[in-house]
Amino acid sequence: MTYLVPLAVAALFAYGVVRIVRRHRRGIVAERGMSIGADLKALADQPRVRVRALTKAGPDRFVLVLQPETEAGSGSDTAAPPDVELLVSLREEAFGFDLLHEWKRAQCILAIVMPPDSRIVRLRSIDDLQPLTLSRIPPA
């Protein structure tokens, strides 16, 4: 009879854990756009760009010009999409500064994500999957 009390406590504990996991399952399962694995799966859906220019616009401010990648063999006679020009907060000694210059030199293709109503710009190299998150500065 004495073994029934610990067994009942263990059963109640297991029931509580299962109930909590089932209730909060959505937070446990990786959703698209919420993890590295989800980012990798979403790369094919994102617009692709190349770094065209990075010029200083002030202290800790740079103008980043991204050239949209056109699909090879699309056969369309439409004009190429315009370059994307962003004012970003970036320091010259930051890792992102050197990475952007390396991407420009190597002409790496990047996937770009700019969430609506956000100042964040997320770039990820298609070649080596290196990510970079930048903060946009709103135009004055």
Question: Residue 30 above 70 pLDDT?
Answer: no
Per-residue CA distances from 43 to 36, 60, 107 (Å): 11, 29, 18
pTM: 0.65
Residues 54 and 86: their CA atoms lie apart, in Å, by 10
Same-domain pairing of 41 and 110: yes
Same-domain pairing of 92 and 24: no
The pLDDT confidence band at residue 14, using thresholds 50, 70 and 90, is very high
Number of domains in the chain: 2
Same-domain pairing of 110 and 125: yes
Same-domain pairing of 41 and 96: yes
The residue segments making up the domain with residue 11 are 1-30
Does residue 130 or residue 3 have the better pLDDT?
130
pLDDT the model gives residue 4? 85
Same-domain pairing of 16 and 57: no
pLDDT the model gives residue 27? 55
Same-domain pairing of 64 and 111: yes
Same-domain pairing of 41 and 103: yes
